[in-house]
Amino acid sequence: MAPVIINIVAAQSSTGKTTLIERILPLLKSRGYRVAAIKGNLKRFSVDPEGKDSFRLGEAGADIAGLAASDRFILTGKSVDKSGTEAAIELLRDFDLILIEGDKHSENPKIEVLRSAVNRSPLLPANTVAVVSDLSDLMLPVPVLPLEKPGELADFIERTFFPLNAEKESPPSGLTHFDPEGRPRMVDVSAKEATLREAYARGEILMKQETLEKVTGGRMAKGDVLAVAQVAAVMAVKETGRLIPMAHPLGISAVEVDFEHRAGVPAVIEIGVRVKLSGQTGVEMEALTGVSVAALTVYDMCKAVDKDMVIQNIRLVEKKGGCSGHYRREQQ
C-alpha cells in the first residue's frame, strides 16, 4: 500500500512548519505509524562538500550514497527523470506516512500553518484539508485546528487518512456512546488534551403580542420573566451532565445569555446562550440545554396568560475548539 503523503505548507517562511512537524512526529509514531519527514522544494543542498566521501561515491555512479554513524544515517542520490522529492518518496514506499515540509504547488493533500505573528490570512492552496493556527476566529471551508495542540492535528490526520485505524476502538455500529456489546456508555475522553472550547445556541418562543408586552413591561404576576430565565439558563448549563445521560460533568468557565424580542403575530422572544470552558470535550449540549430550560422558564412564568406559546427552532449556531475545529451554521 502506497504511503499517505501530506505537504505542510504556509504562505511564507518563519511560520513554524518544522516545529509543527517536530511536535506531531512522536505522537504519530506512538500510534504505530512509520513516518518519514522531508524538507522539500529546495533549490540545492550539500551533505558532504565537493571532494568528500559521499560526494565522491555519488559522482562515481552509486545510485545512493550515504553516511552512517552509530545511531543514525543519511542517504543521498541523484535523480535524472524525476524530482528529488519524487525519488525520495519512491524509496520510502514502505512507510505509512510521509510529511513534506513546503511545496505549495504539489498535488498532495496539504495542511497549512497560519501563525498570527507572521501572517493572518490563509493561502488555502489547492487540496488544503486543514489549517493549523493560533487564531481562534477563523471562518474557513476546512477544519481549523489549534496550533498549540498538536494532539488534535495527530487525531485529524489519523481520522482523515487512516480511518480504519481510528475506528479500531469503536463499536461495530460506529456509535461512540455504545460499547461493543451495544450497551450505552459515556465516551472516555481522558486521553484528550484540554483545549479552549466554546458553543453558542439559540432558540425561540412564540407568543401573543399582548404577552410579549407584559414580559417587556415587567407586568407578569410571577415577576421579571427574562431575569429568571437568565438564571435558569445558567443553572441548566451547570446541570447538563446530570440531565443528559451520556454528557460529561464539566467545569464551566463562563455562561452568557442574551434575549431578543420581535413584535408581530406571533410575537417572538429569541434566546441565545454561549458557554465556554477549557476542557477535553465540547459544550454544545450545555448551550442547547441552557436555551431549552430558559425557554421552558419563560413558558412557565407566562402560561397563566398564554397557553398557546410555542417553543421552537432550538439549534447550535457556532462551536469552536476540539478535533472538528470551527463550525458555524449557515442559516442562523
Angstrom distance (rounded) from CA 200 to CA 284: 7
Angstrom distance (rounded) from CA 241 to CA 122: 38
DSSP helix/strand/coil, 152: helix
Contact between residue 274 and residue 297 where contact means Cβ atoms under 8 Å apart: no
Strand partners, 35: 97
* 172, three cell numbers: 461495530
Q: Is 155 a catalytic residue?
A: no
Question: What DSSP line would sit under 235-262, residue for residue?
Answer: HHHHHHHHHSTTPPP----EEEEEEEEE
Alpha helices for the chain (secondary structure H): 17-30, 53-59, 84-91, 150-161, 163-166, 209-216, 225-243, 284-302
As separate numbers, helices (DSSP H) first and strands (DSSP E) second, the chain gives 8, 13
Which residue out of 188, 258, 300, 308 is catalytically annotated? 300
As annotated, the active-site residues are 300
